[in-house]
């Protein structure tokens, strides 16, 4: 089922970002360094991105290869709750 984004939802999400908080969990966002992901993401990665938008397990950088000086980590915002649930999601997939 596709989630329809209403104007009110988009405005709330934007307001949460201005307050530096996760719009899913309300946690304060932290800046962290994570590994870049190049290429087209697998279905489970797209599911993680959709449910836990501030997971910080990786950062999509597109399909073009990165130069060697860009491949060492990317700055991103992280919600501790998104991160925890995304890790659990991956663990559950591995346990299948």
Average pLDDT across each block of 10 residues of the chain; the chain has 96 residues. List them in order: 66 88 95 87 92 93 70 86 96 86
* DSSP single-letter state for residue 6: -
- For residues 63 and 42, give the distance between their C-alpha atoms in angstroms, rounded to a whole number: 13
The answer to whether 79 touches 25, Cβ cutoff 8 Å, is yes
Neighbours of 55 (CB within 10 A): 24
For the chain, what are the domain ranges? 29-95
**What is the reported pLDDT for 1?**
38
CA–CA distance, 47 with 50 (Å, rounded to integer): 5
pLDDT of residue 46: 92
pLDDT of 54: 96
Phi, psi of 10 (to 5 degrees): -65, -45
């Amino acid at each position: 089922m596709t989630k329809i984004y209403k104007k009110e939802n988009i405005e709330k999400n934007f307001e949460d970002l201005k307050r530096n908080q996760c719009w899913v969990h309300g946690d304060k966002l932290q800046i962290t360094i994570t590994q870049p992901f190049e290429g087209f993401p697998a279905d489970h990665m797209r599911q993680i991105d959709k449910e836990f938008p501030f997971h910080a397990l990786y950062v999509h950088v597109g399909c073009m290869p990165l130069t060697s000086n860009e491949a060492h980590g990317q700055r991103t915002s992280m919600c501790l709750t998104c991160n925890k649930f995304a890790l659990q999601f991956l663990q559950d997939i591995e346990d299948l």
